[in-house]
Amino acid sequence: MTTPDPHVAEAGCGQRLRSAREAANLSVHDVAARLKMPVRVVQSLEAEDWSRLGAPVFVRGQLRSYARLLGLATAPVHAASGVAPIQPTKLEPRTFTPPMQRMAEQFARRAVYIVITAALAIPVWVAMRTHFALPMQSSSSGLEAPESPADDMAATLPGIESRPTPVAASMAPVKPRAGAQADGMVLRFSGESWIRVTAPDGRVLEETVLQADDVRQYARGEVGGIVIGNAGAAEVRHQGRVQDLSSFQRANVARFTVSSDGSLQAATQ
């Protein structure tokens, strides 16, 4: 048996797979054909040679497919392999804001809003008040024009002064239009899966394990390539259309790239 990598503890998952395959009267080539994976991958799984299979997330996906084919429970096989699952990144706050400081910041934001509103409303109010206070002169007769309805009401009712309605500034955020990602890439998952998303320049945008009902959205031109483990639990919608991943799929792992014109192409392993 080939010695596994140092980060993988020795276990008997390879022997379990081999014994189950032999008990099912299947050859290595039979398994490779049914799982649509190279023969060398099947041999590496039985030899526990993880160095030929890539990242641990790929190893767990291939072990899951092999175990399900043979009717074995995937959890004991994963545990025997020693390959640890990828844990989602934990978000931890870097700073702690005391409650009094948060209240002071909220008060400061409200004060700024009030100041901005007053700065816009007061000049308008003063200008309109001055306009209504000035008498309107007739250019032809020189007679004083009749008072405005507002001035007439102010004169009729003591203590009531005609004032225009102040103008308030709105600081509400603009809501993004519906369908902003209609021309981009949308990934939806109905079961546990993992993804590795890279940008057109090769940078890794995301590599994590997702659960059922998780959704990922990417803008047009943001994605250069995608690898999806347990592809049967994933739905890929590109430019508003659901894509058929069968031509990109091997051993329940889909690999494809996004060309400059927006079309999907099978990725070379």
pLDDT of residue 97: 75
Across residues 239-249, what is the average pLDDT? 87
Spatial separation of the C-alpha atoms in residues 233 and 60, rounded to whole Å: 16
49 domain-assigned: yes
Token duo for residue 40? 């060398």
Domain boundary among 81, 100, 119: 81
Of 149, 119, 118, 116, the residue nearest 132 (C-alpha): 149
What is residue 179's DSSP assignment?
T
Q: Tokens standing for 223?
A: 């994605």
Indicate the residue among 47, 81, 115 that finishes a domain.
81
Picking from 257, 191, 185, 177, the residue whose alpha carbon sits closest to that of residue 225 is: 257
CATH code at position 25: 1.10.260.40
Q: Which ranges of the chain does DSSP label H, i.e. alpha helix?
A: 13-23, 28-35, 39-47, 56-70, 74-81, 99-133, 149-156
pLDDT reported for residue 226: 92
Confidence band for 54, pLDDT divided at 50, 70 and 90:
confident
**Euclidean distance between CA atoms 84 and 176, whole angstroms:** 40
Q: What does the longest C-alpha to C-alpha distance in the chain come to?
A: 116
- pLDDT grade, residue 160 (50/70/90)? very low
Give the C-alpha separation, 74 to 222, whole Å.
35
Name residue 209's beta-bridge partners. Answer: 194
Question: Of 169, 166, 162, whose CA–CA distance to 125 is shortest?
Answer: 166
- Higher-pLDDT residue of 183, 156: 183
Residue 23 resides in a domain? yes
Task: Classify residue 115: in a domain, yes or no.
Answer: no
Structure tokens at 220: 């047009």
Q: Is 45 a domain residue?
A: yes
* pLDDT above 80 (res 182): no
3-state SS, residue 159: coil
If you ran DSSP here, which 8-state letter would residue 145 be given?
Answer: P
- Quick check: is 251 in a domain? yes
* Helix (H) and strand (E) counts in the chain: 7, 10
Residue ending a domain, among 52, 81, 110, is: 81
128 in a domain, yes or no? no
**Would you place residue 83 in the very low, low, confident or very high pLDDT band (cuts 50, 70, 90)?**
confident
User: What CA–CA distance (Å, rounded) separates 208 from 41?
Assistant: 23
Record the pTM.
0.35
Query: Could you give the number of structural domains in the chain?
Result: 2
Query: Each residue of 138-158: pLDDT tens digit?
Result: 444 444 444 444 445 444 444
Mean per-residue pLDDT, 34-49: 83
Q: Per the domain annotation, does 29 fall within a domain?
A: yes
Q: What pLDDT, on a 0 to 100 scale, did the predictor assign at position 235?
A: 93
Task: Residue 63: give the domain boundaries.
Answer: 13-81
Residue 110 lies in a domain: no
Rounded to an integer, what distance in angstroms lies between the CA atom of residue 5 and that of residue 102? 50
Q: Kindly state the average pLDDT of the residues 249-264.
A: 85
- Residue 185 phi, psi (nearest 5): -120, 130
What is the mean pLDDT of the segment spanning 85-99?
A: 66
**DSSP-derived secondary structure letter, 29:** H
